[in-house]
Chain A
Amino acid sequence: MAFVNFSDDSTAKLLLDKIALASQSLGQVRLMEVCGTHTMEIGRLGLRSLLPKNIDLISGPGCPVCVTPGSYIDAAADLALSYGARIVTYGDLIRVPGIHTSLEEAKSKGADIDIVTSPLIALDIAKAHAGQQVVFLTVGFETTTPASAKAIMNAANEGLQNLSFFVSHKIVPPALEILIADKQLGLSGFILPGHVSAIIGQTPYQFLADQGLPSAITGFEPLDILAGILLVTDMLRHKKSAIVNAYTRIAKPQGNPLAQELVYRVFRVADALWRGIGKLPQSGLTITDEFGFFDATKRFSMGNIDDSEMPEACSCGDVLKGRIKPVECPLFGTSCTPSNPVGPCMVSSEGSCAAYYKYGA
């Protein structure tokens, strides 16, 4: 296989020229990049400074950590401190402020918290701490759900008694439906998340095209992102509206059927609370009754995670919905910074506010 350099400078310049040409005849173009990794990469590349002035990139709600409710964080800290459970989590959840506390604060009070890069490691941790209840904080979008499902299935097959999963998985398309209903946003199209699409495929986005919003499934290397922007801009110029795939090497039109099957054996779709946005119907996952033994909310008889109080003056809700840019929040960069975050968008490495702060947009 030939080696393709997806960050080649001269190809990047060529694509930028083509984007400039395609957008010449267009008015203001507002593209939403849904995925937090796109937001970070766009900042890291300094891409905004290179795009034509009439192309505006709006960051969407695609940071799983940012949309995890504050009460969920508090409940996780409580599992560790009150029940003595060992919490296993992805690293970026550690510093997210809950409503009253954070996992970092719980850790400084002696909570057992392990940081992992895969839910499957939680099984090893549970085996190594047989006398302790181990809880994996199961968050993320479609990209992480298959690994969560696999971990739960393996735990069931191995009969692990001391491991459970505290699930706050979200699914992307229902959130997009809510966003496009908000006419205030005036969106022209979407840069769709490549890795989410690798799991769910192309079909779930069709409603975007049907409503006149051309969109491109986009990868994460510099040339991928530029290609995604070019394809959408080109469709706008030709007044076409379709879902195109600019990430064919990873995302197949049908997605990954095996992963989908696995996910829906272990989880079922349910209403979910999105921090700063509210409760969205059929926008999250919960563990099915068959695997209910591994549901932490049942094992610890936890109440509903049902409130999402935001700190006063925090505009993360509007940022997540793309209504305002991070810099338009009164707290941005003054009382809210990555080392002292007020809202969730500032703390996660994929949060829009963190990206804007970090890359000085």
Chain B
Amino acid sequence: MTTTTVRLSHGSGKGLQELLSTVVMPALIPGGTGILEDAFVFDIPGRRLAFTTDSFVVSPLEFPGGNIGTLAACGTINDLSMMGARPMLMSVSLILEEGFAFEKLARILSSLSQICASMGIKIACGDTKVVDKGKADGLFINTAGIGIVQVGISLSAAYAKPGDAVVVSGGIGLHGVTILAQRENLHFASAAESDCAPLWPLAKAVLDAVPQTRVMRDATRGGIAAVLHEIATDSKVSIVLQESAIPIPPVVKGACSFLGMDPLHIANEGRFAIIVPADWADKAVAALRVFPNAKDACVIGHVVEKDRFPVLLKTSIGGTRPVEMPPGELLPRIC
């Protein structure tokens, strides 16, 4: 069945890639795009800047460990951070549904502003629209941000090289499982708390310790699997992961086996993958472990010459299997 209309599965993973490459990009940028990074990096005299934007439609709006406001702040902060840019300015646009409570709006927005304040980011501009009851799900937020790229840093999804190490900044899958647990009433997973966090301090620590860092990507929708697929494809390499090395919190493992999902496909909002030359992996890990939310940072695999599959996994019992690009979100709207 060939689709001619947008489905929910076009919201992430392979479905999103297809929508972008067949409809969105050809219409927006007819000349073709280069590699799609987390943020666009450009030069003005004396400065290298990064620019990005992100929209947030999560349901439920509030969840253990955060709310749509914390996501809206962290999403843009993290996209800039992944390009080695200190976030400086942010715009905040709101689409509100008629009937939304002032109190809840104020609570969500102060979460957003507190994170910006803690990172020294100025909320510089914004916009507010109200739509009829039933035309939006309470509140949608768009943020955009500008950051200043650290001097001497050059990161790209195209820079991974065979021999490099793959580091993850902590236990994976907590955000996605938290949202699923709330939405699907999974009582056994109700203790899960989103990993949502601004990643600039962590990214800066890695870059200060290892300026040779080649790639950083936050593993949001589509999880670790999706970002590693993108890196492998853009760098024309393959990535081999060690299953036993991947930090997966027990609650994520439990929820995934119950729901038939792969933890590598589950969204994170405060975890990122880092590719560094192998000799520097320990330094990167040590720089991360200083932070409480990166105490489980570790090497989970390495980069090899391009193979038939972009991402492979050595399983705990010694088998090898490819890691699939998530085909598209079945359970929608987690960020």
Contacts and interface: CB of A to CB of B under 8 A. Distances in A.
Contacts of B21: none
Contacts of A108: 5-8
Interface in A311-361: 338-342, 349-350, 357-360
Interface in A15-54: 16, 37, 40, 43-50
Most buried by A among B309, B319, B324: B319
Q: Contact size class for B?
A: 35 or more
Interface string B298-335: 00000000001100010111111110100110110000
B95 interface: no
A325 to B, nearest CB: 16
Say what secondary structure dominates the interface of chain B: loop
Given A45-B317, A350-B260, A107 B8 contact: yes
Contact of A97 (B1, B184, B185): B1
Given A46-B318, A340-B1, A359-B322, 18 more contacts: A16-B318, A44-B315, A45-B315, A45-B316, A45-B321, A47-B319, A49-B320, A50-B319, A91-B259, A92-B260, A95-B9, A115-B184, A115-B330, A115-B331, A339-B9, A341-B1, A342-B1, A358-B324
Contacts, number: 99
A9 interface: yes
Given A91-B331, A105-B7, A117-B186, A339 B15 contact: yes
B321 A359 contact: yes
Interface of B: 1-3, 5-9, 14-15, 18, 184-186, 244, 258-260, 262, 308-309, 313, 315-322, 324, 327-328, 330-331
A222 B330 contact: no
Contacts of B313: 46
Contact of A45 (B9, B319, B324): B319
Contacts of B18: 339
Interface residues of A, number: 42
13 contacts: A44-B262, A47-B317, A104-B7, A105-B7, A108-B6, A117-B184, A121-B185, A222-B316, A338-B14, A338-B324, A339-B18, A339-B328, A360-B309
A340 to B, nearest CB: 7
Interface string A66-108: 0000000000000000000000000110110100001011011
Contacts of B330: 91-92, 94-95, 115
Shortest 6 CB-CB contacts between residues of A and residues of B: A46-B319, A12-B317, A46-B321, A360-B322, A338-B327, A359-B321
Contacts of B8: 104, 107-108
Contacts of A358: 322, 324
B176 to A, nearest CB: 14
A240 interface: no
